[in-house]
A = this chain, B = another copy of it.
């Protein structure tokens, strides 16, 4: 009788649910990323950076502010910005107030690319993910996610983005 719940191994059913969750997610994410790339020549990372800059004052942010906003390591952002800069999506300028700093600016091309990508991307999210579920399933999914985030000690959903339309 005595096997304690917390230290026991997953049952076969639990494992199946875990595997389903994890594997399906991977495929979903790959499909969406592929579609975004195909529609707009943008990666998920590009999209995230462009979204943040689009919503920023003057279409510009300090590098560290941007990193904090999208929750990336600084070195990750640095490398990514290098690639985006080569493609002309953003520009980096020395920072007036702090000579160490770097000011990331959305270029006209970057803004255009982002504008062109957002509607098809949101539609892809709807068609690929949201349309799979009934309304009740969506509710329940949301609750499960909330429970999982609490369990992991995470804040209750990223309020970020905020905009009515820009999502992800």
Contacts and interface: CB of A to CB of B under 8 A. Distances in A.
A interface SS class:
helix
Contact of A137 (B143, B149, B158, B168): B143
Interface string A7-45: 111101111111111111101110100000000000000
A18 B133 contact: no
B9 A145 contact: no
Contacts of A116: none
Interface in A113-129: 119, 122-123, 125-129
B123 A20 contact: no
Interface of A: 6-10, 12-25, 27-29, 31, 119, 122-123, 125-134, 137-138, 140-152, 154, 157-158, 161, 164-165, 167-168
